[in-house]
């Protein structure tokens, strides 16, 4: 009768708790960021107001130049080219390191 009736897998419980905490922190932070964005813009997410109609009042030919600038597009294109070579990153930190290294070399 010394057999254990209930056994707990501590590793599985720790992983579940870690995921639960990570998800709840992520949801909380995203909620706070959305609230802050709504306060700054004084409009809900995806809500169209007279102040948020960003570049459509300009002629169609000007839209691309108003939305982005060439420097940011060039950096994004360079990072995209370098990440395609790697293909799949084992974790997000390696991708972040690649992006940061490229941004440091540009700066």
68-103 per-position pLDDT tens digit: 667 777 888 888 888 777 777 777 788 888 888 888
Residue 1 has pLDDT above 60, yes or no: no
**Is the model's pTM score more than 0.75?**
no
The sign one gets for the Cα dihedral 60, 61, 66, 69 is positive
Residue 6 shares a structural domain with residue 24: yes
Q: Are residues 33 and 10 in the same domain?
A: yes
Total number of domains constituting the chain: 2
Structure tokens at 105: 């070399």
- Phi/psi at 91 (nearest 5 deg)? -150, 165
Last residue of a domain, one of 14, 38, 53: 53
Select the more confidently predicted residue: 37 or 1: 37
Residues 24 and 71 in one domain: no
Q: In this structure, are 5 and 49 located in the same domain?
A: yes
Claim to verify: residue 25 and residue 66 sit in the same structural domain: no
Print the domain residue range for 77: 59-107
Token pair 């700054």 is at which residue? Answer: 40
4 shares its domain with 36: yes
């Amino acid at each position: 009768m010394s057999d254990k009736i209930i056994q707990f897998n501590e590793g599985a419980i720790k992983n579940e708790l870690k995921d639960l905490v990570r998800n709840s922190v992520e949801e909380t932070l995203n909620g706070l960021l959305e609230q802050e964005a709504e306060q700054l813009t004084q409009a809900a997410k995806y809500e169209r107001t007279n102040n948020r109609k960003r570049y459509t009042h300009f002629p169609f030919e000007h839209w691309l130049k108003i939305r982005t600038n060439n420097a940011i597009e060039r950096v994004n294109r360079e990072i995209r080219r370098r990440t395609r070579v790697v293909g799949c990153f084992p974790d997000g930190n390696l991708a972040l390191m690649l992006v940061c290294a490229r941004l440091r070399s540009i700066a």
